[in-house]
Structure formats: structure tokens, C-alpha cells
Amino acid sequence: MFNDIKSALVYIESKRTKRTLEQFKETIKKYGFNIYQKNIIHIAGTNGKGSTTNFIKDIMVEHGYRVGTFTSPYLICHNDRICINGEMISDERLLMIINSLVEIIESEQLSMFEIDILIMLRYFDEEELDYRIIETGIGGLNDKTNVIDSVCSVITNIGYDHQFMLGDTLAQIAHHKAGIIKPEQTCFTSEINNDLIDIFKAAAEIKNSQVVSVEIDCDYRYPYHFSCLGYDYQLSNCGSYQVANATLAINVCDYLIELDHSLVQRALDGFSWPGRFEKFGKIYLDGAHNIDGIKALIKTLHDQQIKKALVIFSALGDKDIEQMEALLSEYPLIQATFADERLQLEGIDFKEAIKNNIDLYDHLIITGSLHFISTVRKYLQNNLIEKQV
């Protein structure tokens, strides 16, 4: 038993045991966790999972629904993985649930991600929720979130990431993402590669399900005006890649609830997602942690005509660092370091990179690993950088 949340989080974050999905399913069944909760939306994809989750949540909350969300990794604190209507689970509630699970954690030798899923399932089961949006960790087919029974599934896109687990080709990666499709349900996707969509459709056909390929309006300029389902919308204060995520979210919500399109626009107006083209004065934070993410970031910089910018970059060793940096070659770039044992880059500490260059450029673009972005974000908030620039 733990007396404080800090020691409890240190405990669960130390749990790195590797187990199979089948083992986790056995644990779920053995201890009676409710995986058949009402209205679960399951989301997979290479990029945009968190943003799409947030768009769906915001739209539904504007329509008066109570919505739980499960996302990863966290950017602010561990609690932000598990929220209701955007409000993180409290330290008190999180501590209570962790303490109730200690015997199971020790007996089953659970990993941190498995523990988080059990916390989420218990928390959501104890609350009166209208919808629950659950984001996969990695892949879909063998992802530990794939124990749930969903009302619909969502696949944002397919790109190269986590190849060591998902395969070296887009087709192999798509096969893993399609693993979240459940029998007799609808899967929505914003993927535009027809060969990959065919993989989704083949997986759906086996389960007597269907795939809806969402049409993305690509004829937009900044600020982003786009059409969806016969209505015109506007997105501000975000990256261009959010048009696809917002369009996907609107289609999912239209399938599940009756939409008031003025409320949809209100949700879009209030949209924010930490670490996704988030602005702190002249500093932009963007968790472009793979090739497609970097390409999307560059398009946003071009769309918004952000010039005289320095890129401060850091990524973990499992990423294609050389290609990511090559894509950013039109901008001066500094390799930065931060405290993470998985970091293999050489460079200067990110805090020094910011301090040494904040007055030399019109903009600083800080990008790379989501873990890097989380670390930088906490530093900026704690040091009130946004008031200094």
C-alpha cells in the first residue's frame, strides 16, 4: 500500500515486464475487469491518435455527453492518460485504485501499460459515462488495449514507426492497425493509400464489418477552412495536419450522435492538444516523432509562412533520426539532449539550446520524441518562458 501518489507512480512506472496479449486477456478474465463497457471507441494509427481522440471528445462534450479518454504517452503528468471530459483523474482517486490493484500487479507481474489499462477500466466502470475513447499504445492487433469491446473503431493513418514490432512494410503495419476492427462494426479511417484501405476492408470483411474511408478536403489555406459532410468549418491555432484529424472525428461523431454543426465549430474553436504545434511565445512545440510527422510539421511551417526559424531536435534511438533531420535541412538545426536513458543522440542540453538562441531567431521549433516534448514543455511552464519571449 502507498501513502502518497508520488511513490505509487514511481512503483508502476518501474514495471517493464513484457507479456503477451493473451496473458493479459487471461488476467482481465481472472479478476473480472469489465471490458464490455458502454460505447467504447477504439483508435489506432501511426499519427494523430491523440488529436483525433481529443476532437471526438470535445465535439461530444459540446453536445452534452460525458466522455472518458485513455491516451498515451502522457505529456503533463501520468494522470493525463486517463480523463473524463478533459479533466485528469485526481491524485486521490488514482492512488486509491493503484492501492486496490497492488496484489494483482505483483501476482501477475504486470507492465506499466497493463496497469494503466486496468486503472482506466476500473475508473470508467465506476463512473457514469456516455462514451469511452481508448487509444492504442503501439499497433492494434497485439496492443494491450485490444481486450475491449468497441462500438466502432478508428484508424487515423499508416506510416513508418515502431517497425521493430509492427513490420518493415506499410502493408505489415496496416495489418496490425486493422487488428482493432471488431465483428459487425464500422471502422472509420482517414488513410488515403488505397492499397492500405484494401487491407482494412479485407480484415473487416472477415468480421462482417465495414470500412468508411473519410474524404479529406485538401483545398485549404491557412487559417484552415475546410468542408466536411456538407458544412464548412474553420481551424485556428494548430497544425495543418489537424484538418484530417478533425474531419475524421466529425465523421465518427456524426455516426454516433446527432450533430449540431454550430456546436462542432465551437469544439473546433476551443481545440488544443499539448505538444501538437503548441505555441509558447516565439517557441513552437510539436511532437513530430516519425517521418510522416516531420513532413506534416514542415507543411504547417510553410502554410503559416514561419521563417527565420531554428529547429531544436531530439529523438529516441528507435527513430529514423538521419532521415528526419534530412527532411528538416532547409532550417538550421541543433541536436539537443534531455534526461532519458534511451537517448542515443549527441548534442547540447535543450535548456542551453533555448537560452542561447531565443534572441537570435524569430521562432524556435522544438520537435522530435513525445518524451522530449513532454520534458521541454514542463521546463517552459516552470520557467515561464512564454512571458519572456
User: Which tens digit of pLDDT belongs to each residue from 55-100?
Assistant: 999 999 999 999 999 999 888 899 999 999 999 999 999 999 999 9
pTM score above 0.75: yes
**Segment among 180-189, 237-246, 284-293, 336-345 with least mean pLDDT:** 336-345
Q: Are residues 53 and 112 in the same domain?
A: yes
Percent of the chain with pLDDT over 70: 98
Before 183, cis peptide (omega within 30)? no
When divided into structural domains, the chain yields a total of 2
Domain that holds residue 311: 278-385
Final residue before a domain boundary, out of 270, 298, 327: 270
Question: Considering only CA atoms, which of 45, 57, 115 is closest in space to residue 88?
Answer: 57
**Partners of 135 in the β-ladder:** 43
Final residue before a domain boundary, out of 270, 297, 321: 270
Determine the pLDDT at residue 389: 46
Q: Are residues 245 and 283 in the same domain?
A: no
Q: Are residues 326 and 247 in the same domain?
A: no
Determine the pLDDT at residue 388: 47
**pLDDT tens digit string along 306-335?**
999 999 999 887 668 999 999 999 999 999
Q: Are residues 258 and 282 in the same domain?
A: no
**Dihedral (CA of 72, 49, 68, 264) sign:** positive
Final residue before a domain boundary, out of 270, 290, 313: 270
DSSP category for residue 41: E
313 contacts 305 by C-beta, under 8 angstroms: no
Strand order in the sheet with 82-84: 87-88, 82-84, 67-70, 131-135, 40-44, 152-155, 186-189, 210-213
Flag whether pLDDT at 205 surpasses 80.
Answer: yes
Is 357 exposed, middle or buried, given 0-12, 13-18 or 19+ CB atoms closer than 10 A? middle
Q: Are residues 76 and 181 in the same domain?
A: yes
Q: What is the mean pLDDT of the chain?
A: 94
Q: Say how far apart CA 70 and CA 177 lie, in whole Å.
A: 17
Show Cβ contacts of residue 315 under 8 Å, excluding neighbours closer than 6 positions: 289, 321, 324, 345, 368, 369, 372
Q: Are residues 101 and 44 in the same domain?
A: yes
Q: Are residues 31 and 69 in the same domain?
A: yes
**pLDDT tens digit string along 10-57?**
999 999 999 999 999 999 999 999 999 999 999 999 999 999 999 999
What's the CATH code of the domain at 339?
Answer: 3.90.190.20
Concatenating the DSSP letter of every residue in 47-62 gives S-HHHHHHHHHHHHHH
Percent of the chain with pLDDT over 90: 83
Question: Considering only CA atoms, which of 17, 318, 9, 275 is closest in space to residue 144?
Answer: 17
Q: Are residues 107 and 250 in the same domain?
A: yes
Is 96 exposed, middle or buried, given 0-12, 13-18 or 19+ CB atoms closer than 10 A? middle
Q: Are residues 330 and 243 in the same domain?
A: no
Q: Are residues 192 and 334 in the same domain?
A: no
Region 90-115: mean pLDDT is 98
Region 105-120: mean pLDDT is 98
Q: Are residues 34 and 182 in the same domain?
A: yes
Q: Are residues 282 and 184 in the same domain?
A: no
What's the CATH code of the domain at 69?
Answer: 3.40.1190.10
